[in-house]
Chain A
Amino acid sequence: MRTVNIKTISDAVYAAAMKAGVELTSACRQALESAYLKEDEGAARFALGELIKNSDVAREKQMPVCQDTGMAVVLLEIGNEVFLEGAPLNEAVNDGVRRAYKDGYFRKSVCDPITRKNTADNTPAAIHTEIVAGDKIKLTFMPKGFGSENMSALYMLKPAQGVEGIVDAIVSTVKNAGSRPCPPVYVGVGIGGTFDGCAFLAKKALTRDVGTRSQRADVAAIEERALERINALGIGCQGFHGRVTALGVSCEWAPTHIAGLPVAVNVQCHCVRCVKEEI
Protein backbone atom coordinates (compact mmCIF):
# COMPACT_ATOMS: atom_id res chain seq x y z
CA MET A 1 0.00 0.00 0.00
CA ARG A 2 1.27 3.49 -0.87
CA THR A 3 0.00 6.42 1.17
CA VAL A 4 -0.67 9.68 -0.67
CA ASN A 5 -1.64 12.80 1.24
CA ILE A 6 -4.71 14.41 -0.24
CA LYS A 7 -2.91 17.76 -0.37
CA THR A 8 -0.72 16.25 -3.10
CA ILE A 9 -3.85 15.74 -5.22
CA SER A 10 -5.12 19.23 -4.51
CA ASP A 11 -1.76 20.76 -5.48
CA ALA A 12 -1.54 18.63 -8.63
CA VAL A 13 -5.03 19.76 -9.67
CA TYR A 14 -4.03 23.37 -8.99
CA ALA A 15 -0.88 23.12 -11.11
CA ALA A 16 -2.68 21.30 -13.93
CA ALA A 17 -5.51 23.86 -13.98
CA MET A 18 -3.09 26.80 -14.03
CA LYS A 19 -1.26 25.28 -17.00
CA ALA A 20 -4.36 24.13 -18.88
CA GLY A 21 -5.94 27.59 -18.80
CA VAL A 22 -3.06 29.24 -20.62
CA GLU A 23 -1.67 26.53 -22.89
CA LEU A 24 -3.02 24.49 -25.78
CA THR A 25 -1.92 20.85 -25.93
CA SER A 26 1.11 20.50 -28.20
CA ALA A 27 -0.93 18.18 -30.46
CA CYS A 28 -3.58 20.90 -30.84
CA ARG A 29 -0.98 23.52 -31.58
CA GLN A 30 0.55 21.28 -34.27
CA ALA A 31 -2.90 20.58 -35.72
CA LEU A 32 -3.60 24.33 -35.99
CA GLU A 33 -0.27 24.87 -37.72
CA SER A 34 -0.95 22.12 -40.21
CA ALA A 35 -4.49 23.44 -40.80
CA TYR A 36 -3.00 26.87 -41.54
CA LEU A 37 -0.79 25.34 -44.23
CA LYS A 38 -3.74 23.51 -45.80
CA GLU A 39 -5.83 26.65 -46.33
CA ASP A 40 -5.58 29.00 -49.29
CA GLU A 41 -5.18 32.73 -48.78
CA GLY A 42 -8.39 34.10 -47.25
CA ALA A 43 -10.34 34.68 -44.08
CA ALA A 44 -10.06 31.12 -42.71
CA ARG A 45 -6.28 31.10 -43.12
CA PHE A 46 -6.06 34.57 -41.58
CA ALA A 47 -8.11 33.41 -38.57
CA LEU A 48 -5.96 30.28 -38.13
CA GLY A 49 -2.84 32.44 -38.19
CA GLU A 50 -4.31 34.65 -35.48
CA LEU A 51 -5.19 31.60 -33.38
CA ILE A 52 -1.59 30.43 -33.57
CA LYS A 53 -0.42 33.89 -32.48
CA ASN A 54 -3.04 33.80 -29.73
CA SER A 55 -1.57 30.63 -28.26
CA ASP A 56 1.89 32.27 -28.24
CA VAL A 57 0.59 35.39 -26.50
CA ALA A 58 -1.31 33.30 -23.94
CA ARG A 59 1.73 31.25 -23.03
CA GLU A 60 4.08 34.20 -22.96
CA LYS A 61 1.83 36.41 -20.84
CA GLN A 62 0.30 33.49 -18.91
CA MET A 63 -3.16 34.71 -19.91
CA PRO A 64 -6.13 32.43 -20.60
CA VAL A 65 -6.02 31.20 -24.21
CA CYS A 66 -9.77 31.78 -24.35
CA GLN A 67 -11.86 33.78 -21.91
CA ASP A 68 -14.13 30.75 -21.50
CA THR A 69 -11.89 28.91 -19.07
CA GLY A 70 -14.60 26.32 -18.88
CA MET A 71 -15.97 23.89 -16.37
CA ALA A 72 -13.16 21.90 -14.80
CA VAL A 73 -13.35 18.28 -15.95
CA VAL A 74 -11.12 16.07 -13.81
CA LEU A 75 -10.44 12.40 -14.53
CA LEU A 76 -8.63 10.38 -11.89
CA GLU A 77 -7.41 6.84 -12.37
CA ILE A 78 -6.49 5.72 -8.89
CA GLY A 79 -4.37 2.62 -8.31
CA ASN A 80 -5.96 0.06 -5.98
CA GLU A 81 -2.78 0.06 -3.92
CA VAL A 82 -3.07 3.75 -3.08
CA PHE A 83 -4.35 4.93 0.28
CA LEU A 84 -5.56 8.54 0.22
CA GLU A 85 -4.91 10.23 3.53
CA GLY A 86 -6.79 13.36 4.65
CA ALA A 87 -9.89 15.22 3.44
CA PRO A 88 -12.37 13.60 1.02
CA LEU A 89 -11.12 13.41 -2.57
CA ASN A 90 -13.79 15.68 -4.12
CA GLU A 91 -13.03 18.41 -1.58
CA ALA A 92 -9.35 18.26 -2.46
CA VAL A 93 -10.03 18.48 -6.20
CA ASN A 94 -12.40 21.42 -5.75
CA ASP A 95 -9.87 23.15 -3.53
CA GLY A 96 -7.29 22.93 -6.31
CA VAL A 97 -9.78 24.28 -8.86
CA ARG A 98 -10.87 27.13 -6.58
CA ARG A 99 -7.28 28.30 -5.98
CA ALA A 100 -6.25 28.03 -9.63
CA TYR A 101 -9.21 29.96 -11.03
CA LYS A 102 -8.53 32.77 -8.56
CA ASP A 103 -4.74 32.91 -8.96
CA GLY A 104 -4.88 32.48 -12.74
CA TYR A 105 -7.41 35.32 -13.22
CA PHE A 106 -9.63 32.78 -14.98
CA ARG A 107 -13.31 33.41 -15.55
CA LYS A 108 -15.66 31.79 -13.07
CA SER A 109 -18.29 30.17 -15.24
CA VAL A 110 -20.17 27.71 -13.00
CA CYS A 111 -23.70 28.46 -11.85
CA ASP A 112 -26.85 26.90 -10.41
CA PRO A 113 -28.88 25.40 -13.29
CA ILE A 114 -32.18 26.86 -12.05
CA THR A 115 -31.41 30.17 -10.33
CA ARG A 116 -28.33 30.76 -12.59
CA LYS A 117 -26.50 32.11 -9.52
CA ASN A 118 -22.74 31.88 -10.06
CA THR A 119 -20.86 29.76 -7.52
CA ALA A 120 -18.13 32.44 -7.83
CA ASP A 121 -15.15 30.06 -7.64
CA ASN A 122 -15.73 27.76 -10.64
CA THR A 123 -16.54 24.77 -8.42
CA PRO A 124 -17.74 22.12 -8.37
CA ALA A 125 -15.54 20.37 -10.90
CA ALA A 126 -16.95 17.47 -12.95
CA ILE A 127 -15.00 14.65 -11.31
CA HIS A 128 -14.72 11.12 -12.70
CA THR A 129 -12.82 8.48 -10.76
CA GLU A 130 -11.81 5.02 -11.82
CA ILE A 131 -10.03 2.40 -9.72
CA VAL A 132 -7.24 0.71 -11.67
CA ALA A 133 -4.41 -1.69 -10.84
CA GLY A 134 -1.19 -0.37 -9.32
CA ASP A 135 0.04 2.25 -6.87
CA LYS A 136 -0.06 5.36 -9.07
CA ILE A 137 -2.65 8.06 -9.68
CA LYS A 138 -3.21 9.41 -13.17
CA LEU A 139 -4.72 12.89 -13.26
CA THR A 140 -6.25 14.42 -16.38
CA PHE A 141 -7.42 18.02 -16.22
CA MET A 142 -9.52 19.41 -19.06
CA PRO A 143 -11.23 22.83 -18.92
CA LYS A 144 -14.36 22.49 -21.08
CA GLY A 145 -15.87 25.55 -22.72
CA PHE A 146 -19.59 25.61 -23.37
CA GLY A 147 -19.87 27.22 -26.79
CA SER A 148 -18.83 23.82 -28.08
CA GLU A 149 -20.33 21.71 -25.26
CA ASN A 150 -23.74 23.14 -26.24
CA MET A 151 -23.37 21.65 -29.74
CA SER A 152 -22.88 18.10 -28.44
CA ALA A 153 -25.48 15.35 -28.92
CA LEU A 154 -26.36 11.80 -27.97
CA TYR A 155 -28.14 9.39 -30.30
CA MET A 156 -29.72 6.04 -29.48
CA LEU A 157 -29.31 4.45 -32.92
CA LYS A 158 -30.81 1.17 -34.07
CA PRO A 159 -28.24 -1.64 -34.29
CA ALA A 160 -29.10 -2.01 -38.01
CA GLN A 161 -27.83 1.50 -38.69
CA GLY A 162 -24.33 0.20 -38.06
CA VAL A 163 -21.14 1.96 -39.05
CA GLU A 164 -22.86 4.24 -41.60
CA GLY A 165 -25.30 5.37 -38.92
CA ILE A 166 -22.45 6.14 -36.55
CA VAL A 167 -20.57 8.20 -39.13
CA ASP A 168 -23.77 10.03 -40.17
CA ALA A 169 -24.47 10.93 -36.54
CA ILE A 170 -20.97 12.38 -36.09
CA VAL A 171 -21.02 14.35 -39.35
CA SER A 172 -24.55 15.74 -38.92
CA THR A 173 -23.75 16.94 -35.39
CA VAL A 174 -20.82 18.98 -36.70
CA LYS A 175 -22.80 20.17 -39.74
CA ASN A 176 -25.72 21.41 -37.60
CA ALA A 177 -23.30 23.20 -35.27
CA GLY A 178 -21.93 25.25 -38.19
CA SER A 179 -19.79 28.17 -37.05
CA ARG A 180 -21.18 28.16 -33.50
CA PRO A 181 -18.72 25.86 -31.66
CA CYS A 182 -15.68 27.86 -32.91
CA PRO A 183 -14.39 25.48 -35.59
CA PRO A 184 -12.05 23.87 -36.46
CA VAL A 185 -13.42 21.51 -33.84
CA TYR A 186 -12.10 18.39 -32.16
CA VAL A 187 -14.78 15.70 -32.04
CA GLY A 188 -14.93 13.16 -29.23
CA VAL A 189 -17.20 10.19 -29.90
CA GLY A 190 -18.53 7.49 -27.61
CA ILE A 191 -19.78 4.30 -29.25
CA GLY A 192 -21.72 1.71 -27.25
CA GLY A 193 -22.14 1.22 -23.51
CA THR A 194 -25.23 2.66 -21.84
CA PHE A 195 -26.81 6.13 -22.26
CA ASP A 196 -24.68 7.65 -19.48
CA GLY A 197 -21.55 5.64 -20.15
CA CYS A 198 -21.60 6.53 -23.82
CA ALA A 199 -21.51 10.26 -23.06
CA PHE A 200 -18.55 9.70 -20.76
CA LEU A 201 -16.72 7.75 -23.47
CA ALA A 202 -17.12 10.77 -25.76
CA LYS A 203 -15.62 13.05 -23.12
CA LYS A 204 -12.79 10.59 -22.54
CA ALA A 205 -12.08 10.50 -26.29
CA LEU A 206 -11.34 14.24 -26.10
CA THR A 207 -8.55 13.60 -23.59
CA ARG A 208 -6.66 11.73 -26.30
CA ASP A 209 -4.17 13.80 -28.29
CA VAL A 210 -5.68 15.30 -31.44
CA GLY A 211 -4.62 13.22 -34.43
CA THR A 212 -4.18 9.89 -32.63
CA ARG A 213 -6.03 6.85 -33.95
CA SER A 214 -7.92 4.13 -32.10
CA GLN A 215 -5.89 0.94 -31.72
CA ARG A 216 -8.85 -0.98 -33.09
CA ALA A 217 -8.71 -0.90 -36.90
CA ASP A 218 -12.47 -0.77 -37.52
CA VAL A 219 -12.88 2.07 -35.00
CA ALA A 220 -9.91 3.93 -36.51
CA ALA A 221 -11.64 3.59 -39.89
CA ILE A 222 -14.74 5.29 -38.44
CA GLU A 223 -12.55 8.14 -37.15
CA GLU A 224 -10.94 8.60 -40.55
CA ARG A 225 -14.17 8.38 -42.52
CA ALA A 226 -15.93 10.87 -40.22
CA LEU A 227 -13.01 13.32 -40.36
CA GLU A 228 -12.93 13.17 -44.14
CA ARG A 229 -16.66 13.83 -44.45
CA ILE A 230 -16.58 16.65 -41.87
CA ASN A 231 -13.78 18.41 -43.71
CA ALA A 232 -15.72 18.03 -46.96
CA LEU A 233 -18.47 20.19 -45.39
CA GLY A 234 -16.33 23.26 -46.06
CA ILE A 235 -17.39 25.18 -42.90
CA GLY A 236 -13.77 26.07 -42.14
CA CYS A 237 -12.20 28.04 -39.32
CA GLN A 238 -14.85 30.26 -37.65
CA GLY A 239 -17.34 29.38 -40.42
CA PHE A 240 -15.22 31.40 -42.90
CA HIS A 241 -15.21 28.46 -45.38
CA GLY A 242 -12.17 26.26 -45.81
CA ARG A 243 -10.71 22.80 -45.97
CA VAL A 244 -10.33 22.27 -42.24
CA THR A 245 -13.56 22.11 -40.23
CA ALA A 246 -12.26 19.53 -37.74
CA LEU A 247 -8.75 19.03 -36.39
CA GLY A 248 -9.53 15.45 -35.45
CA VAL A 249 -12.09 12.79 -34.56
CA SER A 250 -11.43 10.36 -31.71
CA CYS A 251 -13.73 7.46 -30.85
CA GLU A 252 -13.83 5.41 -27.66
CA TRP A 253 -16.01 2.32 -27.51
CA ALA A 254 -17.55 -0.12 -25.04
CA PRO A 255 -19.72 -3.22 -25.40
CA THR A 256 -23.43 -2.41 -25.53
CA HIS A 257 -26.83 -4.15 -25.39
CA ILE A 258 -28.05 -6.33 -28.29
CA ALA A 259 -30.99 -3.94 -28.77
CA GLY A 260 -29.07 -0.71 -28.97
CA LEU A 261 -26.30 1.40 -30.48
CA PRO A 262 -25.67 4.53 -28.41
CA VAL A 263 -23.49 7.18 -30.07
CA ALA A 264 -22.42 10.31 -28.19
CA VAL A 265 -20.75 13.22 -29.95
CA ASN A 266 -18.94 15.68 -27.69
CA VAL A 267 -17.78 18.77 -29.55
CA GLN A 268 -14.64 20.65 -28.50
CA CYS A 269 -13.61 23.99 -30.01
CA HIS A 270 -10.16 24.57 -31.54
CA CYS A 271 -8.89 25.48 -28.08
CA VAL A 272 -7.94 21.98 -26.87
CA ARG A 273 -6.63 22.29 -23.32
CA CYS A 274 -5.75 19.12 -21.42
CA VAL A 275 -3.01 18.44 -18.89
CA LYS A 276 -2.02 14.96 -17.69
CA GLU A 277 0.06 14.20 -14.63
CA GLU A 278 1.08 11.03 -12.84
CA ILE A 279 1.27 11.06 -9.07
Chain B
Amino acid sequence: MKKLDLPLSKERIKELHAGDSVLLSGTILTARDCAHKRMAEYLAEGKELPFALKGAFVYYAGPCPAKPGMASGSCGPTTSARMDAFAPGLLDLGLGGMIGKGEMSAEVADALARNTAVYFAAIGGAGALYGNAIKKSECIAFDDLLSEAVYRLEVEDFPAVVAMDCHGGNIYH
Protein backbone atom coordinates (compact mmCIF):
# COMPACT_ATOMS: atom_id res chain seq x y z
CA MET B 1 0.00 0.00 0.00
CA LYS B 2 1.46 3.36 -1.07
CA LYS B 3 0.54 6.55 0.74
CA LEU B 4 0.64 9.47 -1.66
CA ASP B 5 0.41 13.20 -1.01
CA LEU B 6 -1.13 15.23 -3.78
CA PRO B 7 -0.02 16.93 -5.93
CA LEU B 8 2.44 14.36 -7.27
CA SER B 9 5.81 15.11 -8.80
CA LYS B 10 6.56 13.62 -12.24
CA GLU B 11 9.17 11.39 -10.58
CA ARG B 12 6.53 10.03 -8.19
CA ILE B 13 4.06 9.47 -11.05
CA LYS B 14 6.69 7.45 -12.92
CA GLU B 15 6.93 5.09 -9.94
CA LEU B 16 3.24 4.19 -10.17
CA HIS B 17 2.12 1.08 -12.01
CA ALA B 18 -1.35 -0.20 -12.93
CA GLY B 19 -2.66 -2.38 -10.10
CA ASP B 20 -0.91 -0.51 -7.26
CA SER B 21 -3.20 0.15 -4.29
CA VAL B 22 -2.80 3.66 -2.89
CA LEU B 23 -4.15 6.02 -0.26
CA LEU B 24 -4.35 9.62 -1.47
CA SER B 25 -4.18 12.69 0.76
CA GLY B 26 -4.34 16.34 -0.24
CA THR B 27 -6.41 18.47 -2.56
CA ILE B 28 -8.61 17.22 -5.39
CA LEU B 29 -11.21 18.95 -7.55
CA THR B 30 -14.57 17.41 -8.44
CA ALA B 31 -15.91 17.75 -11.95
CA ARG B 32 -18.29 15.58 -13.91
CA ASP B 33 -20.28 15.86 -17.13
CA CYS B 34 -21.61 19.43 -16.93
CA ALA B 35 -18.46 20.96 -15.43
CA HIS B 36 -16.36 19.44 -18.22
CA LYS B 37 -18.69 20.83 -20.85
CA ARG B 38 -18.36 24.25 -19.19
CA MET B 39 -14.54 24.01 -19.06
CA ALA B 40 -14.47 23.12 -22.75
CA GLU B 41 -16.60 26.19 -23.53
CA TYR B 42 -14.25 28.45 -21.54
CA LEU B 43 -11.21 27.07 -23.34
CA ALA B 44 -12.86 27.34 -26.76
CA GLU B 45 -13.59 31.01 -26.07
CA GLY B 46 -10.02 31.59 -24.88
CA LYS B 47 -11.24 32.42 -21.36
CA GLU B 48 -9.15 31.56 -18.33
CA LEU B 49 -10.53 28.81 -16.09
CA PRO B 50 -11.59 29.97 -12.61
CA PHE B 51 -9.17 27.47 -10.99
CA ALA B 52 -5.63 26.25 -11.68
CA LEU B 53 -5.28 23.03 -13.67
CA LYS B 54 -1.51 22.68 -13.39
CA GLY B 55 -0.73 19.54 -11.40
CA ALA B 56 -4.34 19.28 -10.18
CA PHE B 57 -6.22 16.00 -9.80
CA VAL B 58 -9.81 15.89 -10.91
CA TYR B 59 -12.29 13.49 -9.31
CA TYR B 60 -15.22 12.40 -11.47
CA ALA B 61 -17.91 12.69 -8.83
CA GLY B 62 -20.83 14.76 -7.69
CA PRO B 63 -21.05 15.00 -3.89
CA CYS B 64 -24.36 14.23 -2.19
CA PRO B 65 -25.93 16.60 0.32
CA ALA B 66 -23.86 16.70 3.51
CA LYS B 67 -25.46 15.99 6.86
CA PRO B 68 -25.08 18.80 9.39
CA GLY B 69 -21.58 18.69 10.90
CA MET B 70 -20.05 16.72 8.02
CA ALA B 71 -17.85 18.05 5.23
CA SER B 72 -19.52 15.90 2.58
CA GLY B 73 -22.26 13.38 1.95
CA SER B 74 -21.54 10.04 0.30
CA CYS B 75 -19.27 10.68 -2.64
CA GLY B 76 -18.20 7.72 -4.75
CA PRO B 77 -16.82 7.90 -8.30
CA THR B 78 -18.87 8.05 -11.46
CA THR B 79 -18.06 6.41 -14.81
CA SER B 80 -14.94 8.04 -16.26
CA ALA B 81 -15.53 7.04 -19.88
CA ARG B 82 -18.04 9.87 -20.22
CA MET B 83 -15.12 12.28 -19.77
CA ASP B 84 -12.93 10.56 -22.44
CA ALA B 85 -13.43 13.43 -24.87
CA PHE B 86 -12.23 16.06 -22.39
CA ALA B 87 -9.37 14.40 -20.51
CA PRO B 88 -6.61 14.50 -23.20
CA GLY B 89 -7.01 18.27 -23.71
CA LEU B 90 -6.91 18.95 -19.98
CA LEU B 91 -3.87 16.70 -19.52
CA ASP B 92 -2.10 18.65 -22.28
CA LEU B 93 -2.84 21.81 -20.28
CA GLY B 94 -1.07 20.37 -17.26
CA LEU B 95 -3.69 18.37 -15.34
CA GLY B 96 -1.84 15.98 -13.02
CA GLY B 97 -4.34 13.18 -13.39
CA MET B 98 -7.83 11.91 -12.85
CA ILE B 99 -9.76 9.76 -10.39
CA GLY B 100 -12.90 7.91 -11.49
CA LYS B 101 -14.39 4.53 -12.22
CA GLY B 102 -13.86 2.14 -15.15
CA GLU B 103 -11.62 2.14 -18.21
CA MET B 104 -10.78 5.25 -20.22
CA SER B 105 -9.98 5.47 -23.94
CA ALA B 106 -6.74 4.83 -25.84
CA GLU B 107 -6.51 8.59 -26.50
CA VAL B 108 -6.50 9.13 -22.73
CA ALA B 109 -3.77 6.49 -22.35
CA ASP B 110 -1.65 8.34 -24.95
CA ALA B 111 -2.19 11.65 -23.16
CA LEU B 112 -1.17 10.09 -19.82
CA ALA B 113 2.08 8.86 -21.38
CA ARG B 114 2.73 12.13 -23.22
CA ASN B 115 2.28 14.22 -20.07
CA THR B 116 3.54 11.78 -17.39
CA ALA B 117 0.15 11.72 -15.70
CA VAL B 118 -1.88 8.98 -14.02
CA TYR B 119 -5.48 7.78 -13.82
CA PHE B 120 -6.64 6.29 -10.52
CA ALA B 121 -9.73 4.14 -10.11
CA ALA B 122 -11.69 4.86 -6.97
CA ILE B 123 -13.93 2.04 -5.75
CA GLY B 124 -17.44 2.29 -7.14
CA GLY B 125 -20.06 1.95 -4.46
CA ALA B 126 -17.84 2.95 -1.55
CA GLY B 127 -19.69 6.26 -1.21
CA ALA B 128 -19.72 6.45 2.57
CA LEU B 129 -16.02 5.66 2.84
CA TYR B 130 -15.16 8.46 0.40
CA GLY B 131 -17.59 10.90 2.00
CA ASN B 132 -15.81 10.22 5.25
CA ALA B 133 -12.34 10.65 3.74
CA ILE B 134 -13.33 14.19 2.71
CA LYS B 135 -12.30 16.57 5.47
CA LYS B 136 -13.18 19.84 3.76
CA SER B 137 -15.32 20.73 0.78
CA GLU B 138 -15.73 24.08 -0.90
CA CYS B 139 -17.49 25.02 -4.12
CA ILE B 140 -14.95 26.97 -6.18
CA ALA B 141 -16.59 27.29 -9.61
CA PHE B 142 -19.78 26.87 -11.61
CA ASP B 143 -21.97 26.87 -8.50
CA ASP B 144 -25.09 27.03 -10.69
CA LEU B 145 -24.40 23.38 -11.57
CA LEU B 146 -25.29 22.32 -7.99
CA SER B 147 -23.99 18.79 -7.32
CA GLU B 148 -22.19 18.97 -10.68
CA ALA B 149 -20.28 22.14 -9.75
CA VAL B 150 -16.51 22.15 -9.16
CA TYR B 151 -15.65 21.52 -5.50
CA ARG B 152 -12.23 21.66 -3.93
CA LEU B 153 -11.94 18.71 -1.56
CA GLU B 154 -9.35 18.08 1.12
CA VAL B 155 -9.04 14.32 1.41
CA GLU B 156 -7.21 12.05 3.80
CA ASP B 157 -6.36 8.41 3.06
CA PHE B 158 -8.64 8.25 0.05
CA PRO B 159 -8.36 4.63 -1.25
CA ALA B 160 -7.73 4.10 -4.95
CA VAL B 161 -5.98 1.81 -7.41
CA VAL B 162 -3.67 2.89 -10.23
CA ALA B 163 -5.84 2.05 -13.24
CA MET B 164 -3.83 3.52 -16.14
CA ASP B 165 -0.23 4.60 -15.65
CA CYS B 166 2.18 6.75 -17.69
CA HIS B 167 3.97 3.67 -19.06
CA GLY B 168 0.93 2.31 -20.93
CA GLY B 169 -0.10 -0.05 -18.11
CA ASN B 170 -3.85 -0.62 -17.84
CA ILE B 171 -5.50 -2.67 -15.09
CA TYR B 172 -8.54 -3.44 -17.22
CA HIS B 173 -6.46 -5.21 -19.91
Residues on A lying within 8 angstroms of B by beta carbon are 22, 42-43, 46-47, 50-51, 53-55, 57-58, 61-68, 105-107, 147, 179-180, 182, 238-241, 269-271
Contacts and interface: CB of A to CB of B under 8 A. Distances in A.
A105 B128 contact: no
A182 B73 CA distance: 20
Contact of B79 (A54, A64, A107, A180): A180
Contact of A66 (B65, B102, B127): B127
Looking at A42, A51, A238, the one whose CB has the most chain B CB atoms below 10 A away is A238
Secondary structure of the A contact surface, majority rule: loop
B121 A58 contact: no
Nearest to B20: A43
Looking at A46, A63, A179, the one whose CB has the most chain B CB atoms below 10 A away is A63
A240 to B, nearest CB: 6
What 6 A-B pairs are tightest by C-beta distance, nearest first? A58-B128, A54-B129, A54-B126, A182-B124, A67-B127, A67-B74
B65 A105 contact: yes
Contacts of B66: 105
Given A64-B64, A239-B102, A239-B172, A47 B73 contact: no
B76 interface: yes
10 contacts: A43-B21, A50-B123, A54-B126, A57-B128, A63-B67, A63-B73, A64-B128, A238-B121, A239-B172, A269-B124
Contacts of A58: 74, 127-128
A241 to B, nearest CB: 8
B103 interface: yes
Interface in B119-170: 121, 123-129, 131-132, 147, 159, 161
A57 B125 contact: no
Nearest to A46: B21
Interface in B85-140: 101-103, 121, 123-129, 131-132
Given A46-B21, A63-B73, A240 B67 contact: no
Contacts of A62: 67
Contacts of B132: 57, 61, 63
A55 B101 CA distance: 19
B34 to A, nearest CB: 12
Nearest to A57: B128
Contacts of B171: 43, 239-241
B56 interface: no
B75 interface: yes
